[in-house]
């Protein structure tokens, strides 16, 4: 929160986005799960790597978006 207040573009990736939004963060990306926020152990290793990359690219995309209010994003769209 304080990093965002300082004016730095920041996106928070977490599996519990409501907590982050409640704290006031405007760019929140819903992560995969608590113990594996960017991946999925059910996937084969190469495919998990693809998922991790998808999350990071989505996060970078979100960092370039103008937001007017709190927004919880998913890898494909918004919540």
Q: How far is the CB of 49 from another protein (least distance, A)?
A: 8
Question: Is residue 74 close enough to count as binding another protein by CB under 8 A?
Answer: no
- Cα–Cα distance, 27 to 72 (Å, whole number): 6
Spell out the residues 6+ positions from residue 18 whose beta carbon is closer than 8 angstroms to its own. 72
Q: Which residues on adjacent β-strands are paired with residue 72?
A: 28
Largest CA distance in the chain: 40
CB 62 within 8 A of CB 29: yes
Question: Is residue 20 close enough to count as binding another protein by CB under 8 A?
Answer: yes
Q: Judged by CB, which is closer to another protein: 22, or 74?
A: 22
Q: Which residues on adjacent β-strands are paired with residue 73?
A: 29, 78
Q: How far is the CB of 59 from another protein (least distance, A)?
A: 5
Q: Using CB under 8 A, which of 46, 66, 76, 77 touches another protein?
A: 66
Residues that bind another protein (CB under 8 A): 1-16, 18-20, 22-24, 26-27, 31, 33-39, 41, 48-49, 52-53, 55-57, 59-60, 63-69
């Amino acid at each position: 929160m304080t990093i965002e207040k300082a004016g730095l573009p920041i996106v928070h990736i977490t599996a519990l986005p409501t907590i982050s939004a409640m704290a006031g963060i405007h760019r929140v990306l819903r992560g995969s799960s608590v113990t594996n926020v960017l991946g999925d152990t059910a996937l084969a290793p190469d495919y998990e790597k693809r998922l991790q990359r998808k999350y990071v690219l989505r996060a970078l995309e979100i960092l370039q978006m103008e937001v007017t209010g709190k927004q919880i994003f998913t890898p494909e769209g918004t919540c």
